[in-house]
């Protein structure tokens, strides 16, 4: 029952958290499931975590709403999906190690492949590790995961110092921080702004240095983050600069590397593949589109200059500029980049808009490569990547698309994202109240703590009761189990209290770490163990029974059962003797006064039949019989009371544990949410960059670039990409923006 209850509660909690993480959007599953396994493997590489996901279920639900396998969102999608799977797994049972492994596997390939994203990979891993911490092995996990996390943070250049490894602590702080972040992150614009600015500031320099990027990124990324953050408030409207900057940065970065085409492919392909946003793809896309549109509107002038007027020295810039001229492989690249999934989300454009751009080849001309059939075909197939890739690159891009998941751009973005995340994490951790963490830990170990305390308290008593040692083993074992339940079990089941020294040693050994965590527990344990009635409960322990203690008192009873005084410890001996004398239950005294021929233990613990037989053997007066019955009643009630109290304690302890577990799970889920948001940001950034590239390559009939202020790209539900006037785009963007907000409310 308890397990089931716990399971349900945890499941509900996790589910709730999951919903919140997803942004209360249930369609996450659809996104996740929509993805094709092979793609996943290609992109992410083999990972146990991914393999376990069930595609078929989700696919069914997709029905035309699915994400294109090659869509840019795949990466985010997979991550989200992985997270979901993990979350779900949590409901059933928590296998920390597996989770951690999954993260590592997933991220390593990216980091390694994309030199530009080392930090991101690290952060992801670390975050995942932290998240995974939950579970029975908390301590171990924490220890294991945290180092990585801290490292990641350092790599990222995170300002905040690594927090202690305590998950609980982190979890607590994380929750608050994450929630705040959610609010902040919820807005897609911020992300974009951030990404743009980063690109502007950092990408240019860092991208150029292929190998150096990794090293430089963390610090710069952090700076960029800071800048972005500052700007974010404003960014809703300050996009203009970003647009050009991004493109320029990309162009520059590509040339910097030895092989521009390869780089481009890497960049594009990874971007496309990596982005997987299972959850709020629609929303994300909408936000992205709106942002992009806004940016285009505002920035177009500047962007156009930057994009089209790339620095002469930059090969990339030249390539890009040329790219429009060479429509060749755009299709291919586009397929890789596959925006199809996105296109659905971008349903913003009305049929009108679509018709316009499509109809007018002039507007779309740049997009429509000679090779490519129509824009719709290329884009519809979900490939915007082609647009981004130069013709030269395109060929390579196609081949490499799968393996090259990590792209320079993605890496850059990821890093930037990671920086933010790391900062967030740090903040969270910092926010984490050490006291709380310590408390959590103590609570965690409280069980063991109980066992220890129990052992101690009994020890003093044990001296008095040498004979009880036999029972002690059982009691000790139960206490040693360390869980409150165990303690309870010892009471209820055996009723015998472990007074023997053995029990103490065992408890100590087993409960080592937990010692002294919570005095309360110790008290509880002691209470439970102490009671003599427990001993008396067992017939075979009668001689040792709780009455037994009274018997032991030298003066008190003349019963032969009493253990030799020698057995008692000297110090405790007298003490106990006095105690026993005084304590000698009133019933004991009364029984003695009434000259009852048998021990109270027997009176209390004998089965009814035997008890009746016993009574029948003696000629007892009414007063004696009455007393005996009262003794029996009181004795039993005493044990019952003890059991009841023990039960209460157990329930309380269990509840505490459950609370701790739930808190841990919550913290982990929040962490996962952060990571998910991170991936979402990355995706958005990638999409934005792609958008910029595509738009930048568009040329009108005269071969001149379109003005971002006048035109914008629209993603149709069918996967096609249309070039439409700004006014229309803005209108559509506004419409879509409203919907998501309304949903949330």
Partner DNA sequence: ACCCGATGTCATGAA
Partner DNA sequence: ACTTCATGACATCGG
Nearer to DNA, 330 or 484 (CB): 484
Q: Tell me the closest approach of the beta carbon of residue 735 to DNA, in angstroms.
A: 58
Nearer to DNA, 329 or 533 (CB): 533
Nearer to DNA, 25 or 546 (CB): 546
Q: Tell me the closest approach of the beta carbon of residue 570 to DNA, in angstroms.
A: 17
The closest alpha carbon to 242, from 287, 197, 189, belongs to 197
Q: Which residues pair with 583 in a beta bridge?
A: none
CA–CA separation, 140 and 135 (whole Å)? 10
The closest alpha carbon to 274, from 510, 5, 44, belongs to 44
Q: Tell me the closest approach of the beta carbon of residue 637 to DNA, in angstroms.
A: 5
Letter string b/e over residues 4-40, b meaning 16 or more CB atoms within 10 A of that residue's CB: eebeeebbebbeebbebbbbebebbbbbbbbbbeebb
Nearer to DNA, 413 or 538 (CB): 538
- List Cβ neighbours of 330 (8 Å cut-off, separation of 6 or more): 323, 367, 369, 371, 372, 378, 386, 387, 389, 391, 394
Nearer to DNA, 132 or 531 (CB): 531
Q: Tell me the closest approach of the beta carbon of residue 626 to DNA, in angstroms.
A: 11
Q: Tell me the closest approach of the beta carbon of residue 170 to DNA, in angstroms.
A: 31
Q: Tell me the closest approach of the beta carbon of residue 29 to DNA, in angstroms.
A: 41
CA–CA separation, 133 and 149 (whole Å)? 12
Q: Give the E-state strand segments of 399-464 in sequence order.
A: none
CA–CA separation, 725 and 733 (whole Å)? 12
Q: Tell me the closest approach of the beta carbon of residue 3 to DNA, in angstroms.
A: 19
The closest alpha carbon to 411, from 216, 562, 178, 658, belongs to 216
Nearer to DNA, 499 or 715 (CB): 499
Nearer to DNA, 169 or 546 (CB): 546
Q: Tell me the closest approach of the beta carbon of residue 457 to DNA, in angstroms.
A: 7
Nearer to DNA, 277 or 492 (CB): 492
Nearer to DNA, 12 or 644 (CB): 644
CA distances from 375 to 331, 335, 361, 386, 654 (A): 9, 12, 9, 11, 62
Q: Tell me the closest approach of the beta carbon of residue 643 to DNA, in angstroms.
A: 4
Q: Determine contact, residues 92/10, Cβ cutoff 8 Å.
A: no
Nearer to DNA, 120 or 533 (CB): 533
Phi-psi region of 538 (alpha: psi -120 to 50; beta: other; left: phi over 0): beta
The closest alpha carbon to 724, from 739, 710, 712, belongs to 712
Q: Tell me the closest approach of the beta carbon of residue 7 to DNA, in angstroms.
A: 22
DSSP 360: -
Nearer to DNA, 92 or 586 (CB): 586
Q: Determine contact, residues 385/402, Cβ cutoff 8 Å.
A: no
Q: Tell me the closest approach of the beta carbon of residue 5 to DNA, in angstroms.
A: 15
CA–CA separation, 688 and 235 (whole Å)? 15
The helix/strand/coil state of 714 is strand
| 96-113 helix and 118-132 helix, angle to the nearest 10 degrees | 180
The helix/strand/coil state of 79 is helix
Nearer to DNA, 632 or 671 (CB): 632
CA distances from 306 to 236, 270, 382, 472 (A): 21, 24, 27, 83
State the Cα angle at 656 between 654 and 661, rounded to 5°: 95
CA-based torsion, 173, 175, 178, 183: positive or negative: negative
Residue 25 phi, psi dihedral angles, 5° rounding: -105, 120
Q: Tell me the closest approach of the beta carbon of residue 277 to DNA, in angstroms.
A: 50
Nearer to DNA, 44 or 525 (CB): 525
Nearer to DNA, 65 or 579 (CB): 579
List residues binding DNA (CB under 7 A): 492, 523-524, 526-528, 530-533, 546, 579, 582-583, 585-587, 607-608, 611, 630, 632-645, 647-648
The H or E element spanning position 724 is: strand 721-725
Query: In terms of C-beta distances under 8 Å and separation of at least 24 residues, what long-range contacts does 211-215 make, across chains too?
Result: 211/115, 213/115, 213/116, 213/408, 213/411, 213/412, 214/115, 214/116, 214/117, 214/118, 214/119
Q: Tell me the closest approach of the beta carbon of residue 117 to DNA, in angstroms.
A: 55
Q: Tell me the closest approach of the beta carbon of residue 575 to DNA, in angstroms.
A: 7
The closest alpha carbon to 584, from 540, 628, 552, 606, belongs to 552
Nearer to DNA, 92 or 617 (CB): 617
Q: Tell me the closest approach of the beta carbon of residue 579 to DNA, in angstroms.
A: 6
Q: Tell me the closest approach of the beta carbon of residue 230 to DNA, in angstroms.
A: 51
CA–CA separation, 657 and 353 (whole Å)? 58
Nearer to DNA, 279 or 524 (CB): 524
Q: Determine contact, residues 116/131, Cβ cutoff 8 Å.
A: no
Query: In the chain, what is the greatest distance between 2 CA atoms, to the nearest angstrom?
Result: 124
**Quick one: 354 exposed, middle or buried, by C-beta within 10 A (0-12, 13-18, 19+)?**
buried
């Amino acid at each position: 029952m308890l397990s089931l209850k716990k399971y349900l509660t945890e499941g509900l909690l996790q589910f709730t958290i999951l919903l919140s993480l997803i942004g209360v959007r249930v369609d996450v599953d659809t996104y996740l499931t929509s993805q094709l396994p092979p793609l996943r493997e290609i992109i992410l590489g083999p990972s146990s975590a991914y393999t376990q996901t069930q595609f078929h279920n989700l696919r069914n639900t997709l029905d035309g709403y699915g994400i294109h396998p090659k869509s840019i969102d795949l990466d985010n999608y997979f991550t989200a999906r992985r997270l979901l799977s993990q979350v779900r797994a949590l409901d059933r049972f928590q296998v920390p190690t597996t989770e951690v492994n999954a993260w590592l596997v997933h991220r390593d390939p990216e980091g390694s492949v994309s030199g530009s994203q080392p930090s991101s990979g690290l952060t992801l891993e670390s975050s995942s590790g932290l998240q995974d911490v939950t579970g029975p092995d908390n301590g171990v996990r924490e220890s294991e995961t945290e180092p990585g996390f801290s490292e990641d943070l350092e790599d990222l250049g995170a300002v905040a110092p690594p927090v202690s490894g305590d998950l609980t602590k982190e979890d607590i702080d994380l929750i608050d921080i994450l929630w705040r972040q959610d609010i902040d992150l919820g807005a897609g614009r911020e992300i974009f702004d951030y990404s743009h600015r980063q690109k502007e500031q950092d990408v240019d320099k860092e991208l150029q240095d292929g190998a150096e990027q990794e090293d430089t990124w963390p610090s710069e990324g952090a700076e960029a983050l800071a800048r972005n953050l500052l700007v974010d408030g404003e960014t809703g409207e300050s996009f203009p600069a970003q647009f050009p900057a991004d493109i320029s940065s990309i162009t520059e970065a590509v040339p910097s590397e030895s092989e521009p085409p390869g780089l481009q492919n890497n960049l594009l392909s990874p971007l496309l593949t990596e982005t997987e946003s299972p959850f709020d793809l629609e929303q994300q896309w909408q936000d992205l589109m709106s942002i992009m549109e806004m940016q285009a509107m505002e920035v177009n002038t500047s962007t156009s200059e930057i994009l089209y007027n790339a620095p002469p020295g930059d090969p990339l810039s030249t390539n890009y500029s040329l790219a429009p001229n060479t429509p060749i492989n755009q299709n291919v690249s586009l397929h890789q980049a596959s925006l199809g999934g996105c296109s659905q989300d971008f349903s913003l454009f009305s049929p009108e808009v679509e018709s316009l751009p499509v109809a007018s080849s002039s507007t779309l001309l740049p997009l429509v490569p000679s090779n490519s059939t129509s824009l719709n075909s290329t884009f519809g197939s979900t490939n915007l990547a082609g647009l981004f890739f130069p013709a030269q690159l395109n060929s390579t891009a196609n081949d490499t698309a799968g393996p090259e998941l990590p792209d320079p751009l993605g890496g850059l973005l990821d890093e930037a994202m990671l920086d933010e995340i790391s900062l967030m994490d740090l903040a969270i951790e910092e926010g984490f109240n050490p006291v709380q963490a310590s408390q959590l830990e103590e609570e965690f170990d409280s069980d063991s703590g109980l066992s220890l305390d129990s052992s101690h308290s009994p020890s003093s008593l044990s001296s008095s009761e040498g004979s009880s040692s036999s029972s002690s083993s059982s009691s000790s074992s139960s206490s040693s189990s360390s869980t409150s339940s165990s303690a309870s079990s010892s009471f209820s089941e055996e009723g015998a209290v472990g007074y023997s020294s053995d029990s103490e040693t065992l408890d100590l050994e087993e409960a080592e770490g937990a010692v002294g965590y919570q005095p309360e527990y110790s008290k509880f344990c002691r209470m439970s163990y102490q009671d003599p009635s427990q001993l008396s409960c067992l017939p075979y322990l009668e001689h040792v029974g709780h009455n037994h203690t009274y018997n032991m008192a030298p003066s008190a009873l003349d019963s032969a059962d009493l253990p030799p005084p020698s057995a008692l410890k000297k110090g405790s001996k007298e003490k106990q003797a006095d105690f026993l004398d005084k304590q000698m239950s009133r019933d004991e005294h009364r029984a003695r006064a009434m000259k009852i021929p048998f021990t109270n233990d027997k009176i209390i613990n004998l089965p009814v039949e035997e008890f009746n037989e016993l009574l029948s053997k003696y000629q007892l007066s009414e007063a004696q019989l009455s007393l005996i019955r009262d003794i029996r009643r009181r004795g039993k009630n005493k044990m019952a009371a003890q059991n009841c109290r023990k039960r209460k304690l157990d329930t309380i302890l269990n509840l505490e544990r459950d609370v701790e577990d739930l808190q841990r799970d919550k913290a982990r889920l929040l962490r996962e949410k952060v990571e998910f948001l991170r991936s979402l940001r990355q995706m958005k950034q990638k999409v934005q960059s792609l958008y910029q590239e595509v738009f930048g390559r568009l040329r009108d009939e005269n071969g001149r670039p379109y003005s971002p202020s006048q035109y914008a790209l629209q993603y149709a539900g069918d996967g096609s990409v249309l070039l439409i006037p700004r006014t229309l785009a803005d209108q559509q963007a506004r419409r879509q923006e409203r919907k998501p907000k309304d949903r949330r409310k």
